[in-house]
């Protein structure tokens, strides 16, 4: 089926059953196809999850299988693939039906929509899921005329009077041909994946019609708690780097916003406690009851750009009274700075007194000697005269 994407083995290895032929191996084109399909399927599921339409994790593998079925150009070939129960399991039938249902919900407005599945049939009738991927990512079919052209190409009955005329720019040979086998080359309708799943489910007696309501609610509401389910980052992840960086930035901004809110709440709580503990006791001792309520309300508004003149005056009074209380508790009477003498100053004064006494300038009682009749003198003049008389006696 993908022989055009393969090349002869460069190593020259041959087919196990026919040594005359060199076996064919996947090429880089085949690898590119695999990577492209993986990315498209992941983005399709992510687009649905971002709109709230979540699906089981196993749906990814089911969609990849459905893409393989869409590569078959005949209805008989597609039916044979789905009849293979080892390859297309019952879970694949359930996942495919749920996926088709979620796409129908995505393409219809829930309140005022007409409930038409025309767009869904056109997208699933294309040659692969790339058009659906471009539609969901808004990279294609962004204008109404583009959607109308796709619908005209897929299935449209031309009236006899309009035969031979182009419609919305679509050539007459391409109008209404895409739904046929061989993508317009045959004459039999080519079954879409939604039609094949429905027929295969009936053949296997799976009774999927009883599961439609559960498929619609799946991923929206938690069946245990009854609360809405939020899609995870893994489900909403898309391979586009721009979307990845945007999602990471959104998570970082949300984290910073939550941390900032917590810090603001903590600061508000601390201001409230400080207003009650730091000022409540002193306000009751210094102010009146009416002033306490007014001061309390003003203190609670601290930090909001308002002046707190009263709070500053209360703080000054509190600090002054606190110093008086501490001084009274210690029993210290502060008169002047000279009352505070250190131990070093006392020792220096005692040493000077002893030196003067040894020199004879001071008597045994501690008073200075005088040469006149005056017995005691504490002034500077008496000291000077005493010093002069002592010098004369020595001479």
Share of the chain above pLDDT 70, in %: 67
Helix axes 193-204, 90-106, angle to 10 degrees: 140
Locus of tokens 């945007």: 246
Return the minimum-mean-pLDDT range out of 95-109, 153-167, 284-298.
284-298
Mean pLDDT estimate for the chain: 78
* Residue 289 pLDDT grade (very low, low, confident, very high; cuts 50, 70, 90): very low
Q: Is the pLDDT of residue 13 over 50?
A: yes
Report d(CA 97, CA 100) in Å as an integer. Answer: 5
Proportion of the chain in helix, strand, coil states, percent, rounded to 5: 60, 5, 35
Domain boundaries along the sequence of the chain: 3-239, 261-330
Q: Tens digits of per-residue pLDDT, 318-334? A: 445 555 555 555 554 44
What's the Cα-to-Cα distance from 281 to each of 64, 278, 286, 287, 294, rounded to whole Å? Answer: 74, 7, 9, 10, 15
Q: Residue 241's pLDDT band (boundaries 50, 70, 90)? A: low
Please state the separation of Cα 152 from the chain's center in Å: 44
Cα dihedral across residues 122, 126, 128, 133: positive or negative: negative
Burial class (CB in 10 A: 0-12, 13-18, 19+), 362: middle
The vertex-40 CA angle with 195 and 140, nearest 5°, equals: 85
Q: What is the pLDDT of residue 17?
A: 85
- What DSSP state is assigned to residue 339? G
Name the residue with higher pLDDT: 217 or 248: 217
88-138 confidence digits (pLDDT tens) = 999 999 999 999 999 999 998 777 666 788 899 999 999 999 999 999 999
Distance CA 308, CA 302 (A): 7
pLDDT at 380: 47
Residue 248 has pLDDT above 90, yes or no: no
Q: What is the pLDDT of residue 251?
A: 82
């Amino acid at each position: 089926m993908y022989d055009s994407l393969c090349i002869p083995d460069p190593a020259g290895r041959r087919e196990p059953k026919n040594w005359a032929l060199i076996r064919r191996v996947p090429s880089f084109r085949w690898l590119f196809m695999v990577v492209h399909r993986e990315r498209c399927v992941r983005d399709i599921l992510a687009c649905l999850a971002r709109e709230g339409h979540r699906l089981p994790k196993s749906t990814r593998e089911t969609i990849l299988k459905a893409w393989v079925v869409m590569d078959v150009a005949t209805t008989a070939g597609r039916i044979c693939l789905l009849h293979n129960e080892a390859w297309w399991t019952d879970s694949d039938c359930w996942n495919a039906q749920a996926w088709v249902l979620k796409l129908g919900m995505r393409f219809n407005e829930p309140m005022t929509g007409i409930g038409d599945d025309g767009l869904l049939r056109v997208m699933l009738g294309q040659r692969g899921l790339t058009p659906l991927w471009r539609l969901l990512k808004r990279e294609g079919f962004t204008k109404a005329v583009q959607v109308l052209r796709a619908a005209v190409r897929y299935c449209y009955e031309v009236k006899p009077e309009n035969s031979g005329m182009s419609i919305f720019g679509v050539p007459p040979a391409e109008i209404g041909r895409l739904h046929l086998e061989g993508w317009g080359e045959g004459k039999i309708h080519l079954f879409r994946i939604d039609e094949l799943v429905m027929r295969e489910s009936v053949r296997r007696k799976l009774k999927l019609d009883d599961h439609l309501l559960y498929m619609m609610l799946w991923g929206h509401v938690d069946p245990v708690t009854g609360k809405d389910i939020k899609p995870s980052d893994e489900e909403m992840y898309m391979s586009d780097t721009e979307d990845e960086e945007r999602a990471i930035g959104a998570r970082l901004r949300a984290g910073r916003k939550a941390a900032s809110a917590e810090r603001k709440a903590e600061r508000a709580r601390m201001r409230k406690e400080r207003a009650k503990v730091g000022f409540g006791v002193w306000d009751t001792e210094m102010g009146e009851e009416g002033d306490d309520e007014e001061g309390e309300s003003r203190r609670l508004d601290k930090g909001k750009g308002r002046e707190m003149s009263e709070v500053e005056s209360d703080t000054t009074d509190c600090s002054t009274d606190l110093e008086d209380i501490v001084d009274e508790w210690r029993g210290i009477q502060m008169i002047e700075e000279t009352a505070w003498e250190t131990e070093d100053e006392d020792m220096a004064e005692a040493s000077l007194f002893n030196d003067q006494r040894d020199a004879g300038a001071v008597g045994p009682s501690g008073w200075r000697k005088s040469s006149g009749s005056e017995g005691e003198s504490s002034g500077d003049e008496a000291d000077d005269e005493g010093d002069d008389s002592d010098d004369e006696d020595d001479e």
